[in-house]
Structures are given as C-alpha cells and as structure tokens.
Amino acid sequence: MNELYDGELAEVNVPGISERLGEALGAAFEAQVEKEVRGDPLPKHVAVIMDGNRRFAWAAKLPAKAGHKKGREQLEKVLDWVLELGIEWFTIYALSSENRLSRTDEELDLLYRLYIDGLSDIADDPRIHENKVKVQCVGQLSELPDNVREAIDTAREKTIGYDDFTFTVCLNYGGREEIVQAIRHLAERVSKGELEPGQIEQSTVAEQLYTAGMPDPDLIIRTSGEERISNFLLWQAAYSELYFTDVYWPMFTRREFLKAIRSYQRRQRRFGR
C-alpha cells in the first residue's frame, strides 16, 4: 500500500467503472424517455431516411459493403421498436432513383442481394405474421432486376391479408418522378374525357401517387447529420415533422429513436393554421 502512495496510486484504474456508470445512466435515461413516450399520443406513421451506411464503414476503416450489411441488421431492430410501440405505419427510404443511377454496378449488386435476402427473411419472419404486418414496396419497381421484383412480390403476397401494421420500402424511388407520373395519369384521364380539369383536387392527386391509401407521415427521421429530405415523399411530407440526428444509420440506437418520438410529441402541429 505504501508503494501505491509513493506515486503509483494515480495510475491505478478499475477497468470498466466509467463504462458501467455510463451504461447505467444511459439505461435510466432511456427508461424515462420511454415512459414519457408511452404517456402521450404516438405518431401514426413514421418514415426514415436511412443515411450513413458508407460513412459508418469508412469511419471504421471497413469496406462499404460492411456498412450496408450493418444497416440491414439495424433495420430489423428498428422494425421491432416500431412494433413494440404500436406505430401502425413505418416507411423507409432504401434506394433513391438517383442512387440507383450513381452507384457502381458492384455496389448495386450488393444492395440488391441485401434487399432480396431482407425481403425473404421478412416474408418468413414469425414477428411479421404474429403482428399482422403488411409488407409492400413502392417506387419505379419495373426498372429493378427480376430477382428483386420476385422477392418484392413474394413478401407482398405472403402478407397481403394483414392490416394491423404496414411496412413500406421505397425502392428506386424519387418524389419528383412520383409527382410527374401522377400528372401524366391525370392528363391521360382528362384527354380521354374521364375527368374535367376543374375536378382535380389534392385528394385526386394523392390517389395517383405510389402511396395511395396511406396516411401522410407524421414524423420523418433522417440519420447521419444531413438536414434535407432528398426527394423523399415530397407531396406527402408537406406537414410532416422532421427530426435530424448526427448518428449514422448503423449506429442508430433505441434511445435515439425514442428521443425522435419524444421530440415529435412535444411539438404543436398546426397544419398551416
């Protein structure tokens, strides 16, 4: 003991104390936030822009594919959290139409394999069937490879009878293109005499969107620090609450998810009034 007093005491550490203390405080904070979240009305529809897979990998000095794989694993966790809270509609931005054109063939092949595996797993996941989750994909799906579209069709067919929850994957999706296609469909109906221009209202346009029949998102979450919606649900997001976090998608924690929900609950939604 005297030797420790002679100068070595300052160098003696008890491994893990600070880490354990941090975890305990974090768990207590998460429990408190969850209690608050469950005490107030929840959003009916949450949408997520899952950003930061590649930057997560680069920061960890890993190949980009490792980030994408970790991102897929994270999605399964977040879907669990959504079901636990009872949020009825959950939508993710998996692949934008711009990304499909800008990514290398090698990276796209990896992403397509992840989508196929992920949709196949979801279609057979007991949690999906126990919670009666309808799985659907929206976007310019006809431009995707045949094997991806087959996986989409399988997941849709296996869950088509469910209506307790709806999980929507936006694949090869672009908000501007979605609106352009809606305008084309309406123009065709007008040219055929099926519709008068004066009959076109907001609801008429909404019926032509990929998301027809879905409620607009109450809350849109974007990870990785970017503060924009990047052509995601442009029409539908008119009155959505936005939540931006610096956390990369693969590191998006349950605590951060609860914070996003709590932030939404504390806001006063005016819908233009």
Q: List all residues 6 or more positions away from 105 whose beta carbon is below 8 Å from its beta carbon.
A: none
Q: Which residue intervals of the chain are DSSP H helices?
A: 2-3, 17-39, 53-59, 64-85, 97-102, 105-124, 126-130, 146-159, 175-191, 202-206, 254-265
Which pLDDT value is given to residue 5?
36
| SS3 call for 195 | coil
Of 2, 40, 99, 105, the active-site residue reads 99
40 is catalytic: no
Structure tokens at 133: 């989750």
Tell me the CB-side half-sphere exposure of residue 51, using CA atoms within 13 A: 22
Q: Does residue 65 sit within a domain? A: yes
The average pLDDT across 164-191 equals 97
The average pLDDT across 24-49 equals 90
Of 51, 53, 131, 172, the active-site residue reads 51
Which pLDDT value is given to residue 216?
98
Which pLDDT value is given to residue 103?
85
pLDDT in tens, 247-259: 999 999 999 999 9
Q: Does residue 27 sit within a domain? A: no
Which pLDDT value is given to residue 17?
64
Mean pLDDT, the chain, integer: 91
The average pLDDT across 136-162 equals 97
Q: Does residue 107 sit within a domain? A: yes
Distance from C-alpha of 41 to C-alpha of 265, rounded to nearest angstrom: 7
User: Is the pLDDT score of 175 beyond 60?
Assistant: yes
Q: Does residue 37 sit within a domain? A: no
pLDDT in tens, 84-135: 999 999 999 999 998 888 888 998 999 999 999 999 999 999 999 999 999 9
147 is catalytic: no
Residue 269's pLDDT band (cuts 50, 70, 90): confident
Q: Does residue 10 sit within a domain? A: no
Q: Does residue 191 sit within a domain? A: yes
CATH number of 255's domain = 3.40.1180.10
User: What's the domain range around 251?
Assistant: 44-264
Between residues 99 and 61, the one the model is more confident about: 61
- The pTM score is 0.88
- The identity of residue 254, as a single letter, is R
Interstrand relation of 45-49 and 133-138 (parallel, antiparallel or unpaired) = unpaired
Kindly report which listed range (75-79, 106-110, 183-187, 266-270) carries the lowest average pLDDT score: 266-270
pLDDT in tens, 163-172: 999 999 999 9
Q: Does residue 6 sit within a domain? A: no
Number of domains comprising the chain: 1
Which pLDDT value is given to residue 3?
38
Q: Does residue 78 sit within a domain? A: yes
Interstrand relation of 219-222 and 89-96 (parallel, antiparallel or unpaired) = unpaired
